[in-house]
Amino acid sequence: MSLLCLLAAGCSTAQAPPEKSGLSSPAFRITVLYDAFGKSSAMKKDWGYAALIEYQGKRILFDTGNDAGVLEQNAKASGVDLSRLDFVVMSHRHGDHMGGMSYLLRVNPRVMIYAPKEGFGVYGADLPSSFYRKDDSLPREQRYFDGAPPKVMRFGSAWPNARFTLIDHDTEIVSGIHLIALVSDKPGTLELRELSLAIETPAGMVLVVGCAHPGIDRIVAAATRIDTHILLVAGGLHLVVAQDPEIERIVRALHDTYQVGFIAPGHCTGEATFKALLRAFGNRDIYAGLGTRITLGNLPHRSKMRAHLDAADLLSYRKLLREHDEEQQHVAQRN
């Protein structure tokens, strides 16, 4: 029997691993460019997140990590050319996700960047001038704009020459590729706006998240309004300091309530949560450390999919992973 959907996951090298016999070029691939854990020795580990998503000819950079120099080193080590992108998604304004922006703009200064719209936000903002109270009795020199403000007040970006499109609601930016916009209600990140990337595939929705500050359960729930079947969730789940009851609640929601097909946790998910997800998802928990390339090839139509991998599928899955790891070792030895 053929493998259900996930075809390969392993460390990246300076060159993309060759596809196995019988497989076409990857239909969907995620390359982890920035994280604090991983197998690759050619890439530098640091706290933060960035990933390249490739699907149907589109190349999407999701976040830029914590440091421009580290992003540059990791992109070059993995053979990723950031001058060739269709667009960029910045999940939120925290430094460990936007710190590599200067390198991105140096190699790709005019790329379109989608970012959360926030009042006076780091990516720029605008407000109607009606937002503040006015007092006509004041002398002209004591009034904002001499008492005649523009209808819309525009505020600067930390990167004034970059091309930002600011998003404050769920948006389909191109056919089948969505941005989910939510606001955190959690202590410490209250009112933080965050974007998540949701991509429709024939086998279900692939969801890429930065830190999931609004709650990964809320993000997944929003994605199910587009497609009820969530094939894969990848990225940071922000449970790094969560206690066991909260971790178990989230794991149950992902596994039981939303019946997520595969999980590829990274970044701020937390070591205790890595363990809990592995326990719940088993072979549907995909290692996603720094340098990993997760390839979903020959995506089947959902009508042909079963709810779970059977024994033959699991053998096929393990065989592919073993072959992929062996190939990576051979490439590393040649280099």
First to last CA, the chain: 35
User: What whole-number distance in Å separates Cα of residue 235 and Cα of residue 208?
Assistant: 6
Set out the domains of the chain in order of their start, with CATH numbers: 8-123+158-334 (3.60.15.10)
Give the model's pLDDT for residue 329.
Answer: 56
Give the model's pLDDT for residue 334.
Answer: 56
Give the model's pLDDT for residue 332.
Answer: 52
Give the model's pLDDT for residue 208.
Answer: 98
Give the model's pLDDT for residue 15.
Answer: 30
pLDDT 10s digits, 124-141: 999 999 999 999 999 999
Cβ contact 170:179 at 8 Å: yes
User: What whole-number distance in Å separates Cα of residue 236 and Cα of residue 234?
Assistant: 7
Total residue count of the chain as it appears in this document: 335
User: What whole-number distance in Å separates Cα of residue 243 and Cα of residue 234?
Assistant: 21
Phi, psi of 181 (to 5 degrees): -110, 120
User: What whole-number distance in Å separates Cα of residue 312 and Cα of residue 274?
Assistant: 26
Please report the DSSP string for 48-75 in residue order.
--EEEEEETTEEEEE---S-HHHHHHHH
pTM (2 decimals)?
0.84
CB burial readout 93-132, b (16+ within 10 A) else e: bbebbbbbbebbbeebeebebbbbbbeebbbbbeeeeeee
Q: Is 248 helix (H, G, I), strand (E, B) or coil?
A: helix
Give the model's pLDDT for residue 81.
Answer: 98
Which residue's entry shows tokens 């779970």?
308
Residues of the chain with pLDDT under 70: 1-26, 298-335
For residue 46, the tally of other CB atoms under 10 A from its CB is: 21
pLDDT 10s digits, 196-227: 999 999 999 999 999 999 999 999 999 999 99
Give the model's pLDDT for residue 281.
Answer: 96
Give the model's pLDDT for residue 29.
Answer: 95
Give the model's pLDDT for residue 40.
Answer: 73
User: What whole-number distance in Å separates Cα of residue 224 and Cα of residue 202?
Assistant: 15
Question: Phi-psi region for residue 322, left (φ > 0), alpha (ψ -120 to 50) or beta?
Answer: alpha
User: What whole-number distance in Å separates Cα of residue 122 and Cα of residue 19?
Assistant: 41
User: What whole-number distance in Å separates Cα of residue 228 and Cα of residue 287?
Assistant: 24
Q: 127 has which bridge partners?
A: 153
Give the model's pLDDT for residue 302.
Answer: 57
Cβ contact 206:234 at 8 Å: yes
Q: 171 has which bridge partners?
A: 179
Q: What is the largest CA-CA distance in the chain?
A: 81
Give the model's pLDDT for residue 293.
Answer: 95
User: What whole-number distance in Å separates Cα of residue 5 and Cα of residue 256?
Assistant: 20
Here the tokens at position 83 are: 């001058």
CB burial readout 175-188, b (16+ within 10 A) else e: ebbbbbbbbbeeee
Q: 284 has which bridge partners?
A: none
